[in-house]
């Protein structure tokens, strides 16, 4: 029998308000939500009590963009190691990308990844179907109830899966049976910039040239093309990891999220770092799209708060320390983030950048709405008990001794975070508790109300 829990005296952050409540969890679900002062604790005799006084209870974080590197790249990370880091950071569900080896370009390969997840993921999981210039027939066979979305690279990135044939893009945008998630960088612009800087520098190039190669213009040209295609074909489009101020005019906050056909995501690294940080972080913050100016960072936060941007995610993309410390032109883009997303966003809250209610909206409620995730993302009776307790008064420094990524490093090393995760529940199972992982019970495949 699964353990039943009674979480007592928590400050519950959910659906735009904070209230003191007790939460009963049984059979993997949220059984009861009882405001403090109204509780009859005798009803829950025999439940394991979690005393949460002084802590905040959030819905489990849903990360809609991760690269866990399995199969084929498991020297960088794998589904077990990276999901372990995710639940330690309060992420209870993830959606993983297709640029593994082999690329996830057939329904059979997609189901093979689901089989790996079923055997090894501590968090709930979904995997994107990958698109290429030549697999439209496979793309349109995707089951919208069982798969989070279709991933399209409209700009090449790590594990090149570039889709640039106009007829293929037309087919995907007009025929995709579910949400289309897009990486947007205009490939000809990026390529021309790369050639120019490669002639200028040898292997001593600084990482600070990255936002000039993967430029704001490249992002805008591709994002605007994706939006135009989506408008033309009424596609359910989700643009990933926005990084520029100029792209913000492509999005609207004029209609409710559940009515939007075009939605947008921003990642932690684009909210946390700016191009000034290349001087001391170097390749450790080399991502595609690139981290850009402070003005871009401020515009992203403003748009997140205004509702033009709907979701915060990680684009967790680990590489080995050896790979990241190579010279700029030989160092891959991406870095690990899932363990630190929630504590870092809570640190931004502590600095007055975002309210707790807004944070939960963008990291829990909105991903569930955007992807139509079944019974997750909210603290509601009858929903899956994906829950996170956090301590807003626990400072800690990110260092090699507390990093759980298989790669063993973080771009946030040396930074003091202002909050910490104390407990993480996945489907009512306590998988993380004050530094201890309980990895005997695995997560579930996400399903979608489509």
Q: Give per-residue pLDDT as tens, 74-126.
A: 999 999 999 999 999 999 999 999 999 999 999 999 999 999 999 999 999 99
Q: Nearest to residue 286, comparing CAs of 332, 249, 336?
A: 332
Asked whether residue 13 is assigned to any structural domain, the reply reads no
Q: What is the pLDDT of residue 202?
A: 82
CA separation for the pair 179, 184 (Å, rounded): 15
- Cβ atoms within 10 Å, residue 256: 9
Within 13 Å and on the Cβ side, how many CA atoms surround 99? 21
The DSSP result for 395-421, as a single string, is -EE--TTT--STT---TTTTPEES-EE
Count of domains observed in the chain: 1
Asked whether residue 450 is assigned to any structural domain, the reply reads no
* Buried/exposed code over 400-414 (b: 16+ C-beta within 10 A; e: otherwise): eeebbbbbebbbbee
Q: What number is the average pLDDT over the span 283-312?
A: 98
Asked whether residue 254 is assigned to any structural domain, the reply reads yes
Q: Nearest to residue 337, comparing CAs of 278, 407, 401?
A: 407
Q: Quick: pLDDT tens for 396-429.
A: 999 999 999 999 999 999 999 999 999 999 999 9
Question: Quick one: pLDDT band at residue 278, thresholds 50, 70, 90?
Answer: very high
Q: Pick the more confident residue, 352 or 2.
A: 352
Q: What is the pLDDT of residue 145?
A: 98
Q: Say if residues 194 and 213 touch (Cβ distance below 8 Å).
A: yes
Q: What is the pLDDT of residue 2?
A: 75
Q: Say if residues 89 and 388 touch (Cβ distance below 8 Å).
A: no
The DSSP result for 97-112, as a single string, is -S-SSS-S-SHHHHHH
Q: Quick: pLDDT tens for 364-398.
A: 999 999 999 999 999 999 999 999 999 999 999 99
Q: What is the pLDDT of residue 158?
A: 63
Q: Quick: pLDDT tens for 132-151.
A: 999 999 999 999 999 999 99
Q: What angle do CA 283, 288, 290 make, to 5 degrees?
A: 70
CA separation for the pair 413, 337 (Å, rounded): 11
Q: What is the pLDDT of residue 42?
A: 77
Q: Nearest to residue 286, comparing CAs of 394, 179, 211?
A: 211
Q: Nearest to residue 238, comparing CAs of 221, 216, 217, 257?
A: 257
Structure token pair of residue 228: 């135009």
Asked whether residue 4 is assigned to any structural domain, the reply reads no
CA separation for the pair 223, 243 (Å, rounded): 11
Helix/strand/coil percentages in the chain, nearest 5: 35, 25, 45
- Report if pTM > 0.95: yes
* Buried/exposed code over 108-141 (b: 16+ C-beta within 10 A; e: otherwise): ebbeebbebbeebbbbbbbbbbbbbeebbebbee
CATH code, 345: 3.20.20.140
Asked whether residue 416 is assigned to any structural domain, the reply reads no
Structure token pair of residue 329: 């032109």
Residue 257, exposed/middle/buried by CB under 10 A (0-12, 13-18, 19+)? middle
Asked whether residue 129 is assigned to any structural domain, the reply reads yes
Write down the mean pLDDT value for the chain: 96
Q: What is the pLDDT of residue 97?
A: 98
Q: Which residue has the tokens 């190691």?
A: 81
Q: What number is the average pLDDT over the span 218-237?
A: 98
Q: Say if residues 372 and 260 touch (Cβ distance below 8 Å).
A: no
Q: Quick: pLDDT tens for 148-189.
A: 999 999 977 666 689 999 999 999 999 999 999 999 999 999
Q: Say if residues 293 and 285 touch (Cβ distance below 8 Å).
A: no
SS3 291: coil
Q: Quick: pLDDT tens for 306-337.
A: 999 999 999 999 999 999 999 999 999 999 99
Question: Cα torsion for 175, 165, 242, 259, to the nearest 10°?
Answer: -20
Percentage with pLDDT > 90 across the chain: 94
Asked whether residue 194 is assigned to any structural domain, the reply reads yes
Structure token pair of residue 343: 């504590």
Q: Which domain holds residue 163?
A: 59-371
- Cβ atoms within 10 Å, residue 197: 16
Q: What is the pLDDT of residue 154?
A: 92
Q: What is the pLDDT of residue 406?
A: 98
Q: What angle do CA 438, 442, 448 make, to 5 degrees?
A: 135
Q: Quick: pLDDT tens for 28-37.
A: 999 999 998 7
CA separation for the pair 146, 151 (Å, rounded): 15
Asked whether residue 410 is assigned to any structural domain, the reply reads no
């Amino acid at each position: 029998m699964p353990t039943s829990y009674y979480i007592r005296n928590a400050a519950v952050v959910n659906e735009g308000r904070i209230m003191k409540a007790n939460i009963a969890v049984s059979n993997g679900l949220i059984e009861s939500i009882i405001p403090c002062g109204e509780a009859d604790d005798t009803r829950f005799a025999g439940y394991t009590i979690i005393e949460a006084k002084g802590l905040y209870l959030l819905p489990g974080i849903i990360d809609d963009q991760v690269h866990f590197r399995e199969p084929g790249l498991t020297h960088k990370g794998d589904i077990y190691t990276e999901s372990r880091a995710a639940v330690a950071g309060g992420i209870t569900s993830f959606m993983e990308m297709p640029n593994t080896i082999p690329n996830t370009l057939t329904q059979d390969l997609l189901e093979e990844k689901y089989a790996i997840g079923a055997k090894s993921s501590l968090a709930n999981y979904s995997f994107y179907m990958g698109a290429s210039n030549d697999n439209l027939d496979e793309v349109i066979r995707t089951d919208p109830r069982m798969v989070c979305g279709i991933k399209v690279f409209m700009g090449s990135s790590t594990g090149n899966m570039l889709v640039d044939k106009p007829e293929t893009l037309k087919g995907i945008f007009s025929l995709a049976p579910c949400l289309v998630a897009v990486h947007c960088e205009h490939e000809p612009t990026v390529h021309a910039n790369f050639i120019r800087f490669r002639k200028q520098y040898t292997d001593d190039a600084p990482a600070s040239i990255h936002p000039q190669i993967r430029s704001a213009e490249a992002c805008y040209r591709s994002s605007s093309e994706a939006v135009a295609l989506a408008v033309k074909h009424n596609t359910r489009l989700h643009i990933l990891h926005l990084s520029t101020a100029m792209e913000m005019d492509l999005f609207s906050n004029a209609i409710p999220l559940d009515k939007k056909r075009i939605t947008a995501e921003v990642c932690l690294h684009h909210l946390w770092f700016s191009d000034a940080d290349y001087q001391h972080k170097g390749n450790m913050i080399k991502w595609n799209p690139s981290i850009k100016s402070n003005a871009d960072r401020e515009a992203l936060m403003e748009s997140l708060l205004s509702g033009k941007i709907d979701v915060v995610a990680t684009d967790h993309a680990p590489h080995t320390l050896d790979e990241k410390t190579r010279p700029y032109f030989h160092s891959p883009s991406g870095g690990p983030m899932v363990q630190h997303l929630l504590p870092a966003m809570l640190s931004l809250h502590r600095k007055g950048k975002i309210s707790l209610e807004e944070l939960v909206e963008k990291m829990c409620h909105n991903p569930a709405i955007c992807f139509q995730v079944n019974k997750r993302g909210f603290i509601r009776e009858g929903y899956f008990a994906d829950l996170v307790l956090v301590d807003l008064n626990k400072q800690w420094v990110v260092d090699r001794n507390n990093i759980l990524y298989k790669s063993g490093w973080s771009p946030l090393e040396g930074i003091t975070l202002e909050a910490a995760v104390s407990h993480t529940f996945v489907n009512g199972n306590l998988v993380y508790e004050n530094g201890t992982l309980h990895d005997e019970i695995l997560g579930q495949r996400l399903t979608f109300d489509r």
